[in-house]
Amino acid sequence: MLERTFISTLKSNPEIVGTQGIVLAVSGGKDSMVLLHLAKRFEHHLPNNVVVATLNHGIRRDALEDVKLVVQCAQNLEFPVIVGSLSPKSFCDENTLRSHRRAFLLDVMDQVKADRIWTAHHADDAVETMVLRLGRGAGLMGATSPKLYDDPWAKPLLTVFSEDIEEFRRRFGVPFREDSTNLLTDYERNKIRLELIPFWSELLGYDVRKTLFSSLTSMSVFREFVEEQGLCLLDQLTVERVPKMLKLRRKAFLSYSRSAQLVLFYLAVKSLKGDIRSRGHLEDAVNCVSKISDRDFGNFALKVNKEIFVVEVL
């Protein structure tokens, strides 16, 4: 049962719950509406400060109906709710929308003095992300499963599959709104979910989601070890750290193997809450450190001299 898995996840990963409060990211879709009802059902395990946040992206004509459903259900469950909205001009592509959504949720968290943001990502999402990233050439660090907790983001449904969510929804009559764009194969993720995974499962004669998720879990163990050791080395290289900027010892950095340099630079940017858009950018950045060459990569910048180099997230 979903409830048993959910409460087990909370008890074995107390960092998911936090201490100051939780912002529930609820879109009106099935997954987030089930998360909302689980939060109510187990609210005695949560801080008193639980707030629902929903964003009217305005992309679909019926987007306002999604918001109305979330507001009504949140009020019925006696959770305060905060609604945000985007102008049509704010939407350019999927990544832009994701950035706006993240910014909205972080703003709500600060506004209500919470320390966690819960999203309804589940095991199917993790598998789809892995397949998507592997198809784009990602390695171990990029292709492994999202974390249950990555301050301040938490995914308490990450080990749950979509059929478990649907079973709970049916059993308790949880209302939800169907996003019609989820059925369009114009988007890569939808192609993976609607076409590739079913074809792959039929071809092999078993549910590949389960085996892929098992592989993700195993890969995550190695990623966590690499990150833990890498961050220790990064601390030794660090001359100065301020928000969005790291100053590192260049010669000590170059004393490590090429593979270690790539991992350390990746972790340096990630530790600043930044992002490296491609393996090519990562390779080029490490080359710049070696050749003492400054460069702006768009979402992060690099300044290098003989003794130190500075990584700044923009």
Show binding-site residues: 27-32
Pairing of strands 116-118, 300-304: unpaired
Question: What DSSP element (H or E) covers 105?
Answer: helix 94-112
User: What's 309's DSSP letter?
Assistant: E
Distance between CA atoms of residues 47 and 37, nearest Å: 16
Q: Which two tokens stand for residue 282?
A: 């990562």
Token digits of residue 177: 């709104």
Beta-carbon-side half-sphere exposure of residue 281 (alpha carbons within 13 Å): 15
Residue whose structure tokens are 């946040």: 53
Residue list, annotated binding site for ATP = 27-32
What tokens appear for 153 in the block? Answer: 């983001």
The count of residues in the chain is 314
Distance from the Cα of residue 283 to its chain's centroid: 24
Residue 203's contacts (CB-CB under 8 Å, 6 or more residues apart) are none
Closest CA to 247 of 188, 304, 207, 297: 304
The set of residues, in sequence order, having a beta carbon less than 8 Å from that of 48 and lying 6+ positions away, is 21
Q: 304 forms bridges with which residues in the sheet?
A: 309
What one-letter code names the amino acid at 290?
S
C-alpha distances out from residue 196 to 128, 146, 191, 292, Å: 10, 21, 6, 45
